């Protein structure tokens, strides 16, 4: 099971995608991505960009800030911008306001099923090729990710205890650590959309609705390494 998770992680998968877009002569494999394919990149809406408090280069979106129910107190990403081959650390702190919890009749179980989606896209520097957005979804839960445990997602509640999933009441810290392997990255401008959401159960069938906890977009340059083969 764990083997697949790294690929689902988005960051790495995107790096691999970018690598796949590199000339096929590197390994002789035919790649589905062709340079004359026209791809739409869902970049941030520049006219409505809203910064997130803390040391980071991210913005709220694509879901508008006022539709996000998790109030972000701060977002720290170190280093910012993220570098390949070096661990980076993310701390996202915030909470769901009491009034929102009450209005939506949220239960702790709703948060146990929350998910985290990462959508990655890129524009490669060398030839301007656009890498199609790819979306990966994992449970928003404390977990070791990757084949060798090279990534970790952890959640702390208001009293500092490490917990399995977001607590309904009080402040939560979401922590993440990972490193992007440089040889899998082709230098370019990368956009990551990170969206956490939960499903609010409706009364009838098909009445469930998705509620956005938080959504943030990070666009930055990643410098890849020469292929070792």
Ligand X SMILES: *[C@@H]1O[C@H](CO)[C@@H](O)[C@H](O)[C@H]1NC(C)=O
Residues of this chain that interact with ligand X (CB under 6 A) are: 45, 47-48, 157-159, 161, 163, 167, 169-170
CB of 157 to ligand X, least distance (A): 4
CB of 142 to ligand X, least distance (A): 11
User: Across-strand partners of 94?
Assistant: 72, 172
CA distances to 108, 138, 142, 190 from 83, rounded to whole Å, are 36, 23, 24, 12
| CB-count burial class (<10 Å; 0-12, 13-18, 19+) for 10 | buried
DSSP string, 214-227: EEEEEEEEE-----
Rounded distance, CA 90 to CA 120, Å? 17
Rounded distance, CA 32 to CA 91, Å? 36
CB of 175 to ligand X, least distance (A): 15
Beta carbon nearer to ligand X, 168 or 198: 168
CA distances to 3, 187, 201, 221, 223 from 125, rounded to whole Å, are 30, 6, 44, 9, 9
Beta carbon nearer to ligand X, 29 or 161: 161
Beta carbon nearer to ligand X, 43 or 181: 43
Angle at 73 between CA 192 and CA 168, to 5 degrees: 95
CB of 38 to ligand X, least distance (A): 18
Output the six-digit token pair for 9. 């992680």
CB of 103 to ligand X, least distance (A): 21
66, HSE (Cβ side, Cα atoms, 13 Å): 1
CB of 170 to ligand X, least distance (A): 4
Beta carbon nearer to ligand X, 22 or 96: 96
Beta carbon nearer to ligand X, 157 or 187: 157
User: Across-strand partners of 143?
Assistant: 153
Beta carbon nearer to ligand X, 82 or 111: 111
């Amino acid at each position: 099971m764990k083997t697949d998770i790294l690929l689902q992680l988005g960051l790495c998968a995107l790096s691999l995608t970018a690598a796949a877009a590199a000339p096929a002569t590197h390994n002789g494999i035919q790649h589905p991505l062709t340079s004359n394919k026209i791809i739409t990149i869902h970049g941030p809406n520049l006219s409505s960009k809203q910064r997130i408090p803390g040391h980071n280069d991210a913005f709220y979106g694509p879901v508008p800030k006022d539709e996000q129910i998790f109030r972000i107190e701060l977002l720290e990403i170190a280093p910012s911008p993220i570098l390949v081959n070096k661990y980076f650390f993310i701390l996202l702190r915030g909470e769901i306001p009491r009034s929102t919890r009450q209005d939506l009749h949220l239960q702790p179980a709703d948060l146990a099923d929350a998910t985290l989606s990462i959508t990655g896209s890129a524009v490669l520097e060398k030839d301007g090729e656009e890498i199609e957005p790819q979306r990966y979804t994992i449970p928003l839960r404390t977990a070791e990710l990757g084949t060798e445990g090279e990534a970790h997602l952890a959640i702390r509640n208001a009293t500092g205890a490490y917990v399995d999933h977001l607590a309904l009441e009080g402040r939560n810290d979401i922590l993440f650590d990972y490193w992007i392997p440089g040889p899998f990255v082709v230098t370019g401008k990368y956009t990551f959309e990170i969206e956490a959401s939960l499903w609010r159960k409706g009364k009838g069938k098909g009445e469930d609705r998705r509620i956005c906890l938080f959504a943030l977009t990070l666009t930055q340059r990643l410098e890849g390494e020469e292929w070792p083969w």
